[in-house]
Chain A
Amino acid sequence: MNRLPTWADVVLVPLISVLIAFVISGLVILAIGEDPVRAMQVMVKGALGSTAGWGYTLYYATNFIFTGLAVSIAFHAGLFNIGGEGQATLGGLGVALVCLFLPWPHWSLAFAAAILAAAAFGALWAAVPAWLQAKRGSHIVITTIMFNFIAAALLNYVLVNVLRPVGSMDPASARFPRELRLPRLQEMLDAVGIPFGRSPANITLFVAILACVAVWAILWRTRLGYQIRAFGKSEKAAVYAGISPFRITMAAMLISGALAGLMAVNQVMGEAQRLLLNAVEGAGFIGIAVALMGRSHPAGVFLAALLFGFLYQGGAELALETTIPRELIVVIQALVILFTGALDNMVRMPLAALFRPRRGGA
């Protein structure tokens, strides 16, 4: 395979892939008889035209940073963790248990405990497929898919039979105590005199940014990160270098599951204030698109998560203002996954051909 210059590999290939995905999305909008330019305007205005819109964009982006990082770190170890959805579901259960059943004097203590619980529950749900992959050779993609469904059934059972308040028909837990409400972005900015619209964006956003830095540090500044990347590049070489496949598979998947679980802190504690049946809302899967687009680098994941946050909020506005349903973003998400992931070589091959003569002449 022809090698591309690094800048082309890191910037040009994903950019072109995303561009193709968006052009096709535009064609889809045209095909259903709507105006893609107007659709874009509605989305930009809805997501970025007001501080509230920005708040929602950042709120969604927070979810996608966590799930995107989760997929990324597994990718670095050569593992495809498709189970972010289930791990986040379990993370939500952890958050709810901490908030409902333990008395907390202050929200900050509950917040710290919820973070730990979400990470632990998410990691636990990733641990079984990881162990099965490492010890029994069961394909992790299939087992994590199966664990998504098992998690959904488990949550359904717990909500209907255990956590549902007496007399309620809703499959949802009771509300968390009011004093456990996380500080919203709006309140924090108001405190320093910046007016900001109402949105569910909350303090978890900063945890997500910290997580980006932490994942970067783990991957490129620690021995474990080096081993994870070496293992992902070539299992044979890694084993030859004395790296234990079992240890790396477990470590990468535990971190991955913990990150996916953290997503629930933002949604369950930051927004809904109770555990709902479908708390994750597909964010686990969007993490795949985010990781692919961000080339599994925390900085790329951050930017891709912002883009998907924009799409999510813009898509909601689009459904309100036009006849284009919300599912448009699912199509865009599919096309991004298709072109940045599966059809990567379609962009790469012609580009490599384009770069070859110039490099040969130099």
Chain B
Amino acid sequence: MDFATLLQLLDSTLRLATPLLLACLAGLYSERAGIFDIGLEGKMLAAAFTAAAVAALTGNVWLGLAAGILASAGMAAIHALASITFRGNQLISGVAINFLAAGMTVLVGQNLFALGGRTPQLAGGGRFAPITLPGAEALSAVPLLGPLYAEVISGHTILVYIALAAVPLTWWLLYRTRFGLRLRAVGENPAAVDTAGVSVVGLRFVAVLICGVLCGIAGAYLATALSAGFVKDMTAGRGFIALAALIFAKWRPVQALGACLLFGFLETVAIRYQNVDLGGVVVPVQVMQALPYILTVVILAGFVGKAIPPRAGGEPYVKER
């Protein structure tokens, strides 16, 4: 493998890791607050469709992004209503949201565009354009680091950089602010938070809505930056890979970046090489596709460092009377 190929692989890894990272951080806020979310997939899908549809109708990708975030936040609000207000089963609510998005996107898409659930191809202002970072041209002559900067770091859409910036921001919010302390506490011991006079319901609503916003960006990225339009079921399990990454990272933001880059790299390899030849042993492409899930099961099983979820996760909070 030459250097140019390696750069291409890394570049593609970053592009494919971005939606995973956004969705993974989304899940992190929700689950750290004690609300399980297996509806990441559905929220992303709803946002991908809405973003592409609005971008196609208005020709403005920013309006698309805003609409995508709204759609995803709307789904998050349903999840919050079901799991916080009505103390329903959070897992069942997540399953419902996944199906709701899968059905509604095709139903509305067919109604609007009559293209079998697709949106029209987006072009020009309907898509996020790549950004060349300052100095990328000038520095590309520098050996090793120059091409790395020009090819891998530079040349992505704004959403990639937003996703990357969200990692330290989330870390800071979670571990260095009062809000973050309370958010983590409400996922571990909501009764203690309640005793301190802070609203458990309020905190959890905020967390779930942040989750909705981030999933919205992830979905909009899929349809308006990574691809040029929406295709039926285009999330293709990414919401679940993000969930896997979240567990892999043991619900921590910086590790989430690492997990998402790893899973993004696996996806890159699976797309680029059908079967990988590792010195005589041929690894079939299906192993590559299944690897994120297998790794997550191994981590969950605790054979390689146990992943322990937030203690109050999945439990509706009932104030003592």
A contact residues vs B (CB 8 Å cutoff): 28, 32-33, 80, 82, 128, 132, 136-139, 141-143, 145-147, 149-150, 153-154, 156-157, 160-161, 285, 288, 292, 323-325, 327-335, 337-338, 341-346, 349
CB contacts (< 8 Å) of A28 on chain B: these are 104, 107
Known: A150-B294, A335-B100, A338-B78. A323 touches B110 (CB 8 A): yes
Instruction: Determine the distance from Cα of A103 to Cα of B238 in the docked complex, in whole angstroms.
Output: 42
CB contacts (< 8 Å) of A137 on chain B: these are 302
CB contacts (< 8 Å) of A143 on chain B: these are 297, 300
* Cβ contact within 8 Å between B293 and A146: yes
At the interface, is chain B mostly helix, strand, loop or mixed?
Answer: helix
Q: How many A-B residue pairs have CB under 8 A?
A: 154
Measured CB to CB, the nearest residue on chain B to A343 is B82
* Cβ contact within 8 Å between B102 and A330: yes
Identify which of B15-23, B88-96, B180-188 touches chain A: B88-96
Identify which of B169-177, B189-197, B283-291 touches chain A: B283-291
* From B38, B108, B240, B286, residue with most partner A Cβ within 10 Å: B286
* Cβ contact within 8 Å between A138 and B297: yes
Q: Number of residues in B with C-beta < 8 Å to the partner? A: 49
Known: A146-B244, A338-B100. A141 touches B286 (CB 8 A): no
Give 18 CB contacts A-B under 8 Å: A32-B108, A32-B111, A132-B300, A138-B301, A142-B243, A143-B300, A146-B297, A149-B240, A149-B290, A150-B293, A154-B286, A325-B106, A327-B117, A334-B102, A337-B92, A341-B92, A342-B88, A349-B86
* Cβ contact within 8 Å between A139 and B309: yes
The yes or no answer to B249 lying at the interface (CB within 8 A) is no
B contact residues vs A (CB 8 Å cutoff): 36, 38, 78, 81-83, 86-93, 95-100, 102-104, 106-108, 110-111, 114, 116-117, 237, 240, 243-244, 247, 284, 286-287, 289-290, 293-294, 296-297, 300-302, 309
CB contacts (< 8 Å) of A344 on chain B: these are 86, 88
* Cβ contact within 8 Å between A327 and B103: yes
CB distance from A206 to the nearest CB of B (A): 30
Instruction: Determine the distance from Cα of A150 to Cα of B295 in the docked complex, in whole angstroms.
Output: 11
Contact of A346 among B86, B237, B293 (CB under 8 A): B86
CB contacts (< 8 Å) of B91 on chain A: these are 80, 82, 141
CB contacts (< 8 Å) of B99 on chain A: these are 285, 330-331, 333-334, 337
Contact of B88 among A33, A160, A345 (CB under 8 A): A345
Instruction: Determine the distance from Cα of A341 to Cα of B301 in the docked complex, in whole angstroms.
Output: 28
CB contacts (< 8 Å) of B82 on chain A: these are 338, 342-343
CB contacts (< 8 Å) of B93 on chain A: these are 338, 341-343
CB contacts (< 8 Å) of A335 on chain B: these are 96, 100
CB contacts (< 8 Å) of B110 on chain A: these are 323, 325, 327
* Cβ contact within 8 Å between B286 and A157: yes
CB contacts (< 8 Å) of B87 on chain A: these are 345
CB contacts (< 8 Å) of A82 on chain B: these are 38, 91, 95
* Cβ contact within 8 Å between A334 and B83: no
CB contacts (< 8 Å) of B240 on chain A: these are 145-146, 149
Measured CB to CB, the nearest residue on chain A to B106 is A327
CB contacts (< 8 Å) of A142 on chain B: these are 38, 243, 247, 296, 300
CB distance from A280 to the nearest CB of B (A): 15
